[in-house]
Structures are given as C-alpha cells and as structure tokens.
C-alpha cells in the first residue's frame, strides 16, 4: 500500500538555442531561488543529444549540487529541475524528482508542482494494465499516462494534451522528451508557472524570482490550460482549456511565494503589504510599534505600520540556518524549532505594547511559542493581527495541510484561539478584504479552500475520507 505524499514544490526548466550549454549550474541557481517551495529533496535532469542524465537526492540544493555532483551532469540543450517538500511518509529519494523513464518512444522526464485528486484511481487503472511504479508520487502516474498517450499520437505535446483529459487537480508541469521541452499548467492554474528569456534561451519557473536571479527577463505567466512547446529552437503554444474557471491558490500570495515574485500579474510583497493596510483599517489598536513575524509577516507589518502611522520595528532576530518549521514532522520537534529559529530583541520589546503581524495561523503551534518568547522578553501587550482569514479547510492541491483536526480554527472561536495562544487581542483579515486585494491579480478566480472549504473542483469523497482517517 502506498503512503500518502503531499507536497508543495518548485520547478525550473531551460531550453537553450545551443546544443552544448552548461545548463546544470543555471538550473541550480534557479532551484536555489525556489528552495522555499521545497526543502526535502531536489534534482536536475539534463538532455544531451536526446539522452537524459539525472542527479537527485534528499537535501537542500546547495548541499546536493556541490561541484562534484554538478560535474556528473553533461552540457546539453534542455534541463529541468525540481525542489520538493513533503511531510507525510518517510522522505525517500525515490519520490524525488525529476522522474525519468525510458519507453517505446524514447525518453521522458517530468517535474511537477501540485497534487492530483484522482491519483489512486489512475494508478489502479495503470497497474491493471501492467504498469509498475517505483515511487508513491503522483508525478510518476502523470509520466506513465503521458507515455501511454504518446503511443496513440504523433508528438509529445499531443500526448500531454491527451493526458490532461485524465488528470484531475493541480499540476504545473515541465516535460522533457528526447528533443522537446513542454510546459503545461492545469486548466484552473492552481499553481503558478511563468516563462522568461535568458538571451534567446527560454526559461520556465514556478516563480519569477528565479528568473530575476539568473538574469533572465520575465516574459509572461503560462495561462491556465496552456501547453507551451519548444522544439528545434521554436516556441509554439496551445490552449486545451474548455470551460474551467481560474483557481489560483490564494495561499501562494499569503505565504508560499516569495515577496519578490510576481504571480499572475501581482507582486507578492504588494499583496501582503495591502493585507497589512486592510488589517489596520479593519482592526485598529493603539500600541508602541508594529512588528512582523519573520519572514512571512514582515510585508504585512510594514503595510499596517504605514497605514496606521504606528512605527515599524524589528522584534526578532531570525536564525538564517534553520529551515521552515513545518519541515519537522512531529509536533515536539516543531516546538523546539520555533525557539531556535526566532529570538526576540529584549531592548525593543521590553515593556512595549506590540502589534504583531503574521501571515496565517494554521495549527497555532508557532504563534503560541512566539508569543511566549515575547512575554519572556518583557512585552507588555501583544495584539496579534493575521494577514489572512481563519484557516478552516484542508488542501488537496499540493500542500501539506491534509488534516482538518490539526487546524486550530476548526475547533475554536477567535476568542478561544486568542486565549489559547496568549495574545491580548486577535483579529484575522476578512475574506472580503482578502478578495479585494486579489482583484489586483490577472486571475479572475482563486482556490480559497483553506479559508472556505470550498474548492474550484469537486474533491472525490474517498479522498476526503482518506485524509480524515489516515493522515497523522
Ligand atoms: P502553525 O500555526 O504552527 O501551524 O504555523 C503557521 C505558520 O507556518 C504560518 O504563520 C506560516 O508562516 C507557516 N505556514 C503556513 N502554512 C504552511 C504550509 N502549508 N507549509 C509550511 N508552512 C506553513
């Protein structure tokens, strides 16, 4: 039986106009910029004359891709890479991406950000016809379906298009064949994917910050339901969307993406700053200063301060060498991580009334510890403002929030949460204000399932039962 793997990942790809470019180092830099999207494993595959060479491992990009490891990858024409994050199931290198397969039509290699909602069904069907899987990841299922469809049609992009008829859920994909690079985004556009140019070469990344850092120019976002194909140094694009509505994950703006990224036409820093502004309007309170919980609360804290005219200050020092606290799978490990990661600056916080801003409360563990450390450092009052609405729903589309039981807001009122976490006051950004901010995006609709438990597509009953019963 396969254990469940849920992930929030980052993908990067490059198609060069030359045949023998050193693409692995550029891909490494691109992936390092997307590291916040996945810290568990990473991998790079390079296409050299139709042969695919892949290196992948558990660990951070900078640790896995040391010079010795990079030297194992040849120069080539196309490269794709992946960073992966999962909390359920043991971290296993077999689940790392890219997934590379040889089949009747040559080589195929896939990287994926998102999560399918019909993986089990697809896997069972494929297994009935003799497919064998090495990993528990849905990406391998996607890879098999594309390979199966490729036997029926004349090109990899047509095979990808056919495959999308079977895939339900969230997928931003890069598919590398012996000669082509195909980028595709599911018809709702749950997860971001953008395209840039590095000189004449084409670059794809989950977030635009990766394009900036390698020196590429941002061209545009891949549209929901779009397939972009690069072959013989030419780009072509096709849309397979029928009547699906936009459904970008709104939590990309709230927390997942980096503030220097523009996601579907909206800068993430700007989004968060506006969230702070609306919070100040919605929930004013008198205090000595406004501070953000590093890093994801800082932009909204700035917005709150600018709008309320209450000074902004730095309340914590963050230890740069500790990864995201969520990476720790057990509650105990996570509790210790918080203290190690954030330490208050006593001279700033002592005897002060603080407006503290964070991006979200999920389980409530992190903020409880943070408030405790602030109290210990002498803070007089802590008024917590959260730059998103109460987190009420599990996510089926590529994040690790898979159990409703763990979500503090599903069990307690705002007042009860305030009491439990030890704040003097607590207010969440309203859904109405969140939606107002999101109007700045090019997307016309969002997946707000984490706040509303309503999703842009139907979630199969078995999956819902599965999540409630099996996870944790
Ligand atoms: P907690 O309330 O202890 O569950 O932690 C919530 C904090 O973790 C938020 O303030 C975010 O900064 C961060 N966070 C929110 N959602 C996620 C997620 N899906 N994966 C990792 N970290 C997250």
What local confidence, expressed as pLDDT, does residue 8 receive? 81
What local confidence, expressed as pLDDT, does residue 333 receive? 57
The single-letter DSSP state of residue 404 is G
Distance, C-alpha 295 to centroid of its chain: 16
Instruction: Give distance in angstroms: CA of 358 to centre of ligand 1.
Output: 10
Measured CA to CA, the distance from residue 174 to residue 197 in angstroms comes to 16
What sign has the CA pseudo-torsion 107, 111, 114, 115? positive
Measured CA to CA, the distance from residue 375 to residue 79 in angstroms comes to 50
Tokens for 205, please give them: 């990344």
- Kindly give, in sequence order, each residue whose CB lies less than 8 Å from that of residue 215, ignoring residues fewer than 6 positions away: 198
**What fold, for 9-245?**
3.60.20
Q: Exactly one of 9, 109, 209, 249 is catalytic; which is it?
A: 9
Ligand 1 atom having least distance to the Cα of 360: 10
DSSP string, 26-64: HHHHHHHHTGGG--SEEEEEEEETTEEEEEEEES-HHHH
Instruction: Give distance in angstroms: CA of 398 to centre of ligand 1.
Output: 14
- From the list 26, 18, 58, the residue with the least C-alpha distance to 42 is 58
Q: Which residues line ligand 1 (CB under 6 A)?
A: 255, 296, 324, 326, 358-367, 399-401
Residue to mutate (ligand 1; options 336, 362, 394, 471; most atoms within 8 A of CB): 362
Angle 220-300-293 from CA coordinates, rounded to 5°? 115
Tokens for 178, please give them: 């012996």
How many other CB atoms sit within 10 Å of the CB of residue 321? 7
Beta pairing class for 446-447 and 381-386: unpaired
Instruction: Give distance in angstroms: CA of 411 to centre of ligand 1.
Output: 17
Per-residue pLDDT of the chain (472 residues), as tens digits, is 233 444 589 999 999 999 999 999 999 999 999 999 999 999 999 999 999 999 999 999 999 999 999 999 999 999 999 999 865 445 788 889 999 999 988 999 999 999 999 999 999 999 999 999 988 889 999 999 999 999 999 999 999 999 999 999 999 999 999 999 999 999 999 999 999 999 999 999 999 999 999 999 999 999 999 999 999 999 999 999 999 999 999 999 999 999 999 999 999 999 999 999 999 999 999 999 999 999 999 999 999 999 999 999 999 999 988 765 444 555 555 556 677 889 999 999 999 999 999 999 999 999 999 999 999 999 999 999 999 999 999 999 988 787 888 899 999 999 999 999 999 999 999 999 999 999 999 999 999 999 999 999 998 877 775 444 333 2
What local confidence, expressed as pLDDT, does residue 99 receive? 96
Angle of helix 268-282 relative to helix 298-308, nearest 10 degrees?
50
Architecture of domain 262-452: 3-Layer(aba) Sandwich (3.40)
> Domain map of the chain by residue range?
9-245, 262-452
Ligand 1 atom having least distance to the Cα of 327: 21
- From the list 246, 248, 297, 243, the residue with the least C-alpha distance to 275 is 297
Measured CA to CA, the distance from residue 377 to residue 89 in angstroms comes to 38
Whether residue 20 contacts residue 61, with contact meaning beta carbons closer than 8 Å, is answered with no
- From the list 167, 246, 264, 228, the residue with the least C-alpha distance to 13 is 228
- Tell me the CA distances in angstroms from 136 to 234, 398, 428, one per residue in order: 35, 14, 37
Beta pairing class for 353-358 and 289-292: parallel
DSSP run (H or E) holding 185: strand 181-185
Whether residue 44 contacts residue 24, with contact meaning beta carbons closer than 8 Å, is answered with yes
Ligand 1 atom having least distance to the Cα of 334: 3
Measured CA to CA, the distance from residue 283 to residue 285 in angstroms comes to 7
Residue to mutate (ligand 1; options 86, 342, 360; most atoms within 8 A of CB): 360
Instruction: Give distance in angstroms: CA of 13 to centre of ligand 1.
Output: 28
Question: Where do we find the tokens 């927390």?
Answer: 255
Ligand 1 atom 20, closest CA: 326
Ligand 1 atom having least distance to the Cα of 408: 2
What local confidence, expressed as pLDDT, does residue 153 receive? 96
- Tell me the CA distances in angstroms from 298 to 40, 172, 260, 381, one per residue in order: 25, 28, 13, 19
Measured CA to CA, the distance from residue 267 to residue 66 in angstroms comes to 32
- Tell me the CA distances in angstroms from 402 to 6, 87, 305, 396, one per residue in order: 8, 10, 34, 7
What is the value of pTM for the model shown? Answer: 0.94
Ligand 1 atom having least distance to the Cα of 361: 2
Instruction: Give distance in angstroms: CA of 16 to centre of ligand 1.
Output: 37
Residue to mutate (ligand 1; options 37, 336, 366, 451; most atoms within 8 A of CB): 366
What local confidence, expressed as pLDDT, does residue 135 receive? 85
Q: Is 42 a catalytic residue?
A: no
- From the list 115, 140, 113, the residue with the least C-alpha distance to 127 is 140
Instruction: Give distance in angstroms: CA of 400 to centre of ligand 1.
Output: 10
Ligand 1 atom having least distance to the Cα of 400: 19
Tokens for 15, please give them: 């198609």
- From the list 23, 465, 449, the residue with the least C-alpha distance to 251 is 449
Instruction: Give distance in angstroms: CA of 36 to centre of ligand 1.
Output: 12
Ligand 1 atom 11, closest CA: 360
Tokens for 19, please give them: 């045949």
Q: Which residues partner with 54 through β-bridges?
A: 45
Measured CA to CA, the distance from residue 54 to residue 79 in angstroms comes to 9
């Amino acid at each position: 039986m396969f254990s469940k793997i849920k992930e929030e990942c980052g993908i990067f790809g490059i198609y060069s106009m030359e045949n023998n470019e050193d693409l692995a180092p550029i891909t490494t830099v691109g992936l390092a910029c997307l590291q916040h999207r996945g810290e568990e494993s990473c991998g790079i595959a390079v296409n050299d004359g139709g042969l695919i060479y892949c290196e992948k491992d558990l660990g951070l990009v900078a640790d896995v891709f040391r010079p010795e490891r990079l030297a194992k990858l040849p120069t080539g024409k196309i490269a794709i890479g992946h960073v992966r994050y999962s909390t359920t199931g043991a971290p296993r290198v077999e689940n790392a991406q890219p997934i590379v397969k040889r089949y009747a039509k040559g080589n195929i290699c896939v990287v994926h950000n998102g999560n399918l909602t019909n993986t089990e069904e697809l896997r069972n069907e494929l297994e009935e016809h003799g497919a064998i899987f090495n990993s528990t990841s849905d990406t391998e299922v996607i890879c098999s379906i594309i390979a199966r469809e490729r036997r029926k049609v004349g090109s990899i992009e047509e095979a990808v298009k056919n495959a999308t008829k079977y895939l339900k859920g969230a997928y931003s994909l890069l598919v590398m064949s012996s000669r082509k690079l195909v980028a595709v985004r599911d018809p709702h556009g749950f997860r971001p994917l953008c395209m840039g140019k590095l000189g004449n070469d084409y670059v794809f990344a989950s977030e635009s910050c990766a394009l900036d850092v390698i020196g590429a120019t941002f061209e545009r976002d891949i549209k929901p339901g779009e397939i972009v194909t690069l072959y013989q140094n030419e780009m072509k694009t096709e849309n397979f969307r029928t009547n699906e509505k936009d459904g970008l994950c709104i939590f990309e703006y709230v927390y997942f993406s980096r503030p220097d990224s523009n996601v579907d036409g909206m800068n993430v820093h700007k989004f968060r700053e506006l969230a702070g502004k609306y919070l100040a309007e919605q929930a004013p309170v008198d205090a000595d200063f406004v501070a953000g919980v590093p890093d994801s609360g800082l932009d909204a804290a700035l917005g709150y301060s600018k709008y309320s005219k209450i000074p902004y200050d730095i309340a914590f020092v963050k230890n740069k060498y500790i990864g995201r606290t969520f990476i720790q799978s057990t509650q105990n490990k996570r509790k210790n991580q918080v203290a190690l990661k954030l330490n208050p600056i006593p001279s700033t916080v002592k005897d002060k009334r603080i407006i503290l801003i964070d991006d979200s409360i999920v389980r409530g563990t992190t903020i409880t510890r943070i408030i405790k450390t602030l109290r210990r450092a002498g803070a007089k009052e802590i008024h917590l403002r959260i730059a998103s609405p109460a987190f009420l729903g599990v996510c089926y589309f590529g994040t690790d929030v898979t159990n409703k039981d763990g979500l503090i807001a599903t069990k307690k009122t705002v007042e009860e949460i305030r009491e439990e976490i030890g704040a003097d006051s607590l207010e969440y950004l309203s859904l109405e204000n969140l939606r107002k901010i999101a109007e700045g995006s090019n997307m016309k609709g969002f997946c707000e399932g984490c706040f509303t438990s309503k999703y842009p597509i139907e979630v199969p009953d078995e999956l819902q039962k599965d999540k409630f019963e099996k996870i944790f």
